[in-house]
Each structure stands twice: as structure tokens, then as C-alpha cells.
Amino acid sequence: MAKYGFETKGNTIVADFPEQVKGKTFLITGPSKGGIGAETASSLALGSPEMIVLVGRSLEKIQPCIDDIHGVNPAVKVKFIEAQLDSLASIRSAAKRILDDPEIQKLDVIINNAAIMTCPYGTTVDGLELQFGTNYVSHFLLTNLLMPKILAAGHDARVVNVSSLGHWFMLDFNVDNIGFHGGKTYDPIRAYGMSKTANILMAVSLNEKLGVKGLHAFALHPGSIMSGLQKYLTPDITESAYKLLDSFGVERPDRKTLQQGSSTTLRAALDPSLVGEPESSLDKESGIDWRRVGKGKVYLDNCQLTDDPKVIRGYALDAKNAEALWKVSEELVGQKFEYQST
């Protein structure tokens, strides 16, 4: 019987992996009060990390999370970094602040948590479809810009992308239609699915490009949790989403608490067993951890690493899709991110 599952709480995961928390530096995007990002931060505070860097739209929105962290553990250093995730210029400014901060010497774990869901059609400051730009492109750019400090953490630095069961909402993944023809064919459910699929494919690419340097990337479905994410989720949209899941034979999810919802993120961020033992998974000649490269398991659901096609769709793990998305993403942000294989 699996040790962790649907009922597992975030605090339990932190308690089980104290050495992976104490003295480490974590970055979390979008930790607004009442969401799983803030819950994740509060749970991490129990383990006495060196620092938690919180990236959000405004201090007003993030201050409750800061207060909760210090309510759990007053000794934890917290830094707030303002960033508008619908603006590439704002992301670049936030990344520069982090890179230039001498107190942030390394980033052991980045948790790309921020998201919007099923909103009406709109575009970012840079003209990208709003869900795709906010949920994925912003995190693609932020993560790559911060890579020097991620890699400075050494072996087992991690990038954790909070994806969703919603990645099922695509019929297929096609990088040629990320803008839904300028909104003419926009469907809020499928647009959400596009962005959440991209979160998974980003993890696939990061493992392939940087696994040799000790980086491990994961994506996950946290569960169905009531939070501010449901701001635009009308009864009609909800029913349409459920009908899509029904058509794929996917069970409608039961609700989780915030503590249950944060547990899968935290296992992805902390559990050493997810990356395998060097003797079994690391090709010593090439230096590549084959369990982590494209074809390997990068996705967690209910705290379990899985590539079960009943849980995660094949197009979300496809190495060709991942590489195509990476190239398009570089074009969208106007910057190439090329990493040496050795």
C-alpha cells in the first residue's frame, strides 16, 4: 500500500523530509491567501527553511501568507518579490532583483504555482493568450532567467510546476494554435488545458536539458481544491469540463482540503526517492539520468509519480512536443536558453 495518497497532508510531507527543508531556500509564485501556494509556504515553515521567496502581484495580496509563515515559525526569513505574470518585462525585473540579491545565494526549489483558470478571452501585455501567458510563459521565462541560482543549489535542485487534471481538456497538443486564432476559436476550458499541458512539457524539457547538471523537474495535479482559482468557473463551464472528463473515461475528482492539496507539490519538491538511486538510474558514461529524461516519470497525482495513461495524457509527456514548445517559447519571450550537455 502506498505511503502517500489522496488523504496525505502537506505538513506530513514536511515532517517526513526534514533534511530537505531545513536551511534550504524555496521560491513560490502566486501564494495568495486561501490557495495551495500559501498553504505550501506555511507547511514549509514548519521545517525551518533558510528563506522563502514569495513572488506575487502585490504585497497586499501576499502579506497574509507572510503573516501565516511567521505565525508558524517567526525565524524563517521571507522575501517578497513583486511580479505581474502577464508582463514579460515585469518577470525580467523580478528575476533581476532575485539574481542581484546577495542574500539569495541559491534557489533549492522553485515552485511555479501561480495560475488563472477559464477566464474570458484576453491577452497579456505582450499579446499572448492570457491563460497561456500567465500560467506557462511567465514561468518558462522566470525559471530560465533564475537558472544560475537554481543550479547553484547543486545536485537535486528542483523545479516544480503545478499543473492540473485540466491538461486532459485538449484533444491534442498543437503549438501552432496557442493563441486560438486571436481569440476567434477561444474556449476557456481548452485554453486552460493548453497552459497546464505546457507546464508538464516544460518539466520534460528541463529534465532533458539540465538533468545532467543535477536538476530535477516535476509537474503535478494537486487535486480539486476550492480556492480563488475558481473565480471564473461558472456552473456551465464546470459542467462542460466534467463532460469532457467523462468522454475520456476520467473520474470526476473529489474535493481536497488545502492541506491535502499542498501535499503533492511538497512531495515533488522534497522526496529524495523520486529521483532514483545513482546506481540504478544514472548512466555514468553519459551523465544522464534516464528516469528523468522525457520518457521518464515527471508527473505526480495524489502524491504518486506516474505515467499511467489513465492519469496523464501521452501528448503531455511527448519529447517532440516538449522540444517544439521550448522553441516556440523562446520565440515568444525573445530569448534563447541553451544549456551545455556537460
Catalytic site positions:
163, 192, 196
Decide: helix, strand or coil at residue 83.
coil
Decide: helix, strand or coil at residue 219.
strand
**Whether 136 contacts 156, CB under 8 Å:** no
**Whether 262 contacts 43, CB under 8 Å:** yes
CA–CA distance, 238 with 192 (Å, rounded to integer): 12
CA–CA distance, 154 with 162 (Å, rounded to integer): 22
CA–CA distance, 316 with 196 (Å, rounded to integer): 9
Centre a 10 Å sphere on the Cβ of residue 122 and count the other Cβ atoms it contains: 15
The DSSP secondary structure of 90-136, one letter per residue, reads HHHHHHHHHHH-TT----SEEEE-----SPPS-B-TTS-BHHHIIII
CA distances from 271 to 13, 69, 80, 264 (A): 8, 22, 26, 10
CA–CA distance, 53 with 69 (Å, rounded to integer): 11
The DSSP secondary structure of 268-298, one letter per residue, reads HHH-GGGG--HHHHEETTTTEEGGGSTTS--
Beta-ladder partners of 51 = 25, 77
CA–CA distance, 181 with 4 (Å, rounded to integer): 42
